[in-house]
Each structure stands twice: as structure tokens, then as C-alpha cells.
A and B are shown apart, each in its own frame.
Chain A
């Protein structure tokens, strides 16, 4: 069985993430680029399937700038077998429609039985790429899972919904996505980090994927950002230390502000 795990490098949520109103794009210099936490869980889900089965291979796939290779190295260090990096200058500023088209081109024809993604990236939060990929690849879609089990040609799991969860099952090949309620990702061990350096890592351009460059990137995106405005930063207000009356003081503050 062949599994592809999709990983994305994003600005660290612990950092000071900024957008540049002039270029209307993410300021790449602001927060450090890191593998999105949810993708570590996607890798973990793939590795658990690999460890539970026989002859399972895991390929980490990313689309991103040169530095995004670090996200693939992390996936390899955790235990993925190989990696594919779609790297092309013309891809900058791609939207979900374009990203899913490029990823679909990279995944098609490689006989993957299962594609595992994170449910939602922390930068775009669109949560659309896994569903779009299922549509493009003609695979079954079983997304927003907190558990993933593969057995006998099908994948099943618990899909989170707005007020609980449903149990669902899909035939392979399928695209699944995992939520942050899914299994905790493992830490790469020193051996894994060393081994990662020797694992196969393929870099592909758009031309090598057979996609026309003229439709790529922010200039050609389907959705177009017209304007970006920063919200004024919040400032600290009054802070009191409880002297035995703080609860009453909060009520007075709320009443004075006509909030109660």
C-alpha cells in the first residue's frame, strides 16, 4: 500500500505573523517558517498505518518555496520513506484552486491508495484542499478525522462535525484529512534525523509535472486579494489585584460600560 502525506510550511503561529499591505501577501520575513503542526499529525497517522501493516510506504509531498524542503526533512525524520517537493517560482501566491490542481498533478499516476492531509492549515485556514483533491483525483473523500483505520481495501474513522462526530467509511483509494484531535505526533529521534538525509527526495517543476506555467501563481489565481488592512493593535487597560472585592469591581466595570 502506498500513502502520500501532504505537508505545508507555514509561518510559525508562535511568531509575529504579518501581511504586507503593499504586496497584499504574507510577509515571509515575519515569523519563522515551520511545518504546520497539523501536518505532523498527518505524518503520524500515516506512520501508524505503516507500522500496523505490511509493505506500506509513506511519501511526503509539499508544494512551496525552496525552504519548504525543511518541512519534508521533518516528515522524513519522523519516518516517511521518501519525499516530493514541487518547487517553482511561478507558484507564489497560489490559491486553493491552483494548489489543489498542482498537487493533483503530482499525485496522479503514482498509484497512491491513500492521501493524508491536515484538515486546515494555520495560515490560510481555507480547509479546502483535501476536498478539492478528492474531486480532482476522483477519489473518495473522508476528511476531518480524529481516528484513521485502514482495513481490507477501505478506510474508516471518526469525522468531527459541528456538534459531535460521525463514524464513516470509504473505499480506497481515498483522500483523508486529520484534525488536531488525532494522534499526537512523535518527535524525530537522532537516528531518524540522520537517516532522513539519505532518503530519496525528488524536486519537480511545473513543467516537469506537465502543467502550463501561464496559469500559476497569484497573478492568475481564481480568488484575488484587492486590499489588506491591518487592525490597530490592542493595548492593555486597567489591571487590578484582587483585594477581596475584585468580583464586585468587574461587575461595576461591566455595568459602567453598559455591558450588563
Chain B
């Protein structure tokens, strides 16, 4: 059976959350295999772990400066793994910026089709069927690779289930010296603090706040409701631009696309570019003091009111229900 290569991203030997899903998706198309790029002397346990997650083979590239060079070590390792595997039916990566860019370059290097931000994946007799969304989920697109190996970036939480565990065979790659001109990372400023909240793309419930919150201090109200509901926190671009919260929280055209069971929009007008990131939510609830706000055109339940009075009452009601619903402890 031909192999499907998965780029297994990790932070110092700790696999990223999406790797299990990528291997499960790979199992739909062929035999799952993983590609790992690591600093020499790190990540010794990765092969066994990837086997548990379904990788029958693990291609390992030990690269000096793997953590310091931007994207090029991953491209070289993936290309070397494709050559070593011989028969490869697809390459799968996640949607991190690094992974998408490595995949884009790999497609050029291999002469292959690049299918980005795929939300569903299936094998067909004449190749893969990749489902994508266009214009913020207004259209569902089915695409395939007309030529070359499909190189696919898969949006998280698209493919359910896991691949059966396998006895992983480790194959060492020797990608050779990195000849590509590369950018070098000189400092990292990334949040270590692991959030206790669900990830935006994975969350069942998303609570988003907009410019209507008025300040970073007031934005805490959005977080409080999110915590009461066990939800992820999102935001409009106006809220991000005003510095109420981090840009990684932005939902919309130029931010994250979410399709949760429930989306609550607080103090968000519902501009078309915001809707492009959340209109495929199953249920939408909006709270806005302007009865003419466009968000009400797509809300299943809307409240014309002030977030500063409605939301505290909502939090209280949610907490009260939960106190009744679940016995203490």
C-alpha cells in the first residue's frame, strides 16, 4: 500500500495536538507515516509515540538548527521522505503558518498539487477528494489533484476518530546540508502559558467580543462568559485593532474561521468580513444595543441591549443552572 506522509510538528519533542488527527486522515488515503524534523539529540520518544497514533513508518531528520531556520528544514525533510518512501499517495500537514508554507514549497519542489485548508478528505478511484470552503463557508468546494502528489493542509477538527496503533519503523533521513537560502529566527516571543480554555478552532462554543466592549479591561466580561460556558474566546478585528485582546483571537475574513455548535457575539456589529468567519456556526446568539446591527440578520436569538447589563445576568443564570445540574464535587 502506498504511504501517506504526515508532517508531525512538535515543540521540543512534545507533539502538537493535530498530529493524531492528521494520522487518522492519512489512514483514509493509504498507510499513515510520519515525518519528524528535530534538533539532534532531542525527541527520542517521538517514534514510539507516533506509532501509537498510527504511523507505520517514521522518517526522522536530525537537523542542526532545526529550531532556528524558518521552514526550509521541513521542506528538505519532506522531500527526502517522499524520495525514501518511493510510493507516496499524499502529504498531509496542519494549518500552522510554518506547516502551510512548508507544504507550499514542497508542492513546487515535487511538482505537485497544493490543496489548502481542507475540511474533509476521502479517497476516490481517481485520486483524493478534498472538501474546502470558499468565501467564509458560503460555498463548499470539492477539489482534487489533477497532476502530481496531492500536498494537503488539513484544518484542525475536520476528521474524527484515530488511526489504529502501529509498530512504527524508524527511518533516518539524511537530507544533506541545507542549501536553500533561509531566514533565521533570532528570538521567540510566544505564549508558553498553556490556556485552560479550548482552542478557537476546536471549541464547541465560542464567545466573541467586539468594539462594543470598549476597553481591554471590559473585555474580561467576554472571558468570564466563555469560562462559565467552557467556551473559547474570539474577537472582531476592531477589538483586536483596539488592543482589547490578542490577534490570534480574531474571527473572520482575515482571522480564524470557526464553525462551533454555538457562537455568541457580544458588542459585534456583524460586518460581512466578521460573518465570513462564523456564519457556519450551528446556532448564533447576538447581544448588541443597536437594533439595526447586521448581526441580527443571521442570529438565531438576538438581544437588543447593553452587554454590561445583559451579560452579567447571563453569566449568573448559566452558573445557577450548572450549580443545579451537577452535584457538588
Name the residue of chain B whose CB is nearest to the CB of A11.
B135
- Beta-carbon contact of A222 and B107 below 8 Å: yes
- Beta-carbon contact of A222 and B114 below 8 Å: yes
Alpha-carbon gap, A223 to B111, bound state (A): 11
Which residues in A have their C-beta under 8 angstroms from that of B305? 241-242, 246
Interface string of B317-329 (1 = CB under 8 A from A): 1100110000000
Q: Which of B82-90, B161-169, B290-298 contacts A (4 or more CB under 8 A)?
A: B290-298
- Beta-carbon contact of B108 and A132 below 8 Å: yes
- Beta-carbon contact of A251 and B314 below 8 Å: yes
Name the residue of chain B whose CB is nearest to the CB of A139.
B181
- Beta-carbon contact of A168 and B184 below 8 Å: yes
A residues 157-181 in Cβ contact with B at 8 Å? 159-171, 174, 180-181
- A168 and B70 contact, Cβ closer than 8 Å, known pairs A222-B107, A255-B321: yes
Alpha-carbon gap, A231 to B281, bound state (A): 12
A residues 205-260 in Cβ contact with B at 8 Å? 221-231, 234-242, 245-255, 257, 259-260
Decide yes or no whether B190 CB sits under 8 A from chain A: yes
- A230 and B97 contact, Cβ closer than 8 Å, known pairs A224-B146, A238-B301: no
Decide yes or no whether B215 CB sits under 8 A from chain A: no
Interface string of A126-142 (1 = CB under 8 A from B): 11111110111011111
Give B250 Cβ to nearest chain A Cβ, in Å.
9
Decide yes or no whether A44 CB sits under 8 A from chain B: no
Decide yes or no whether A96 CB sits under 8 A from chain B: yes
- A222 and B112 contact, Cβ closer than 8 Å, known pairs A96-B104, A131-B104, A228-B140: yes
Alpha-carbon gap, A160 to B114, bound state (A): 22
Q: Is the interface of A mostly helix, strand, loop or mixed?
A: mixed
**Which of B70, B107, B143, B302 has a CB less than 8 Å from the CB of A225?**
B143
- Beta-carbon contact of A164 and B313 below 8 Å: no
Which residues in A have their C-beta under 8 angstroms from that of B312? 247
Q: Which of A13-21, A53-61, A76-84 contacts B (4 or more CB under 8 A)?
A: A13-21
- Beta-carbon contact of A96 and B190 below 8 Å: no
- A237 and B205 contact, Cβ closer than 8 Å, known pairs A169-B184, A222-B114, A246-B310: no
Which residues in A have their C-beta under 8 angstroms from that of B108? 97, 100, 132, 135-136
Decide yes or no whether B144 CB sits under 8 A from chain A: yes
The range of chain A's interface size is 35 or more
- A259 and B261 contact, Cβ closer than 8 Å, known pairs A126-B114, A242-B309: yes
- Beta-carbon contact of B183 and A259 below 8 Å: no
Q: Which of B26-34, B51-59, B272-280 contacts A (4 or more CB under 8 A)?
A: B272-280
- A168 and B185 contact, Cβ closer than 8 Å, known pairs A135-B109, A237-B302, A241-B291: yes
Q: Is the interface of B mostly helix, strand, loop or mixed?
A: mixed
- Beta-carbon contact of A253 and B190 below 8 Å: no
Decide yes or no whether A122 CB sits under 8 A from chain B: yes
Decide yes or no whether B211 CB sits under 8 A from chain A: no
Which residues in B have their C-beta under 8 angstroms from that of A249? 303
B residues 256-298 in Cβ contact with A at 8 Å? 261-262, 272-273, 276, 279-280, 283-285, 287, 291, 296-298
- A222 and B181 contact, Cβ closer than 8 Å, known pairs A167-B186, A230-B139, A240-B303: no
Decide yes or no whether B176 CB sits under 8 A from chain A: no
Which residues in B have their C-beta under 8 angstroms from that of A246? 287, 303, 305, 310, 313
Name the residue of chain B whose CB is nearest to the CB of A176.
B183
Query: 16 more A-B contacts (CB under 8 A) besides A127-B104, A162-B248?
Result: A126-B104, A131-B101, A132-B105, A135-B109, A141-B70, A170-B70, A222-B114, A223-B114, A225-B141, A226-B143, A239-B291, A239-B301, A242-B306, A257-B283, A259-B205, A259-B261
B residues with CB within 8 A of A: 70-72, 75, 96-98, 100-105, 107-109, 112-117, 129, 134-135, 137-148, 150, 180-191, 205, 229, 237, 247-248, 253-254, 261-262, 272-273, 276, 279-280, 283-285, 287, 291, 296-306, 309-318, 321-322
A residues with CB within 8 A of B: 13-14, 17-19, 24, 38, 95-97, 100, 120, 122-123, 125-132, 134-136, 138-144, 156, 159-171, 174, 180-181, 221-231, 234-242, 245-255, 257, 259-260
A/B interface sample: 26 pairs, CB < 8 A = A38-B254, A126-B104, A135-B75, A135-B108, A135-B180, A140-B183, A141-B70, A161-B190, A165-B189, A166-B186, A181-B247, A222-B107, A222-B114, A223-B144, A228-B139, A229-B139, A231-B140, A234-B297, A239-B291, A239-B299, A240-B301, A242-B306, A247-B312, A247-B317, A248-B317, A254-B318
A-B CB proximity, top 5 nearest = A247-B313, A242-B305, A251-B317, A164-B190, A128-B104
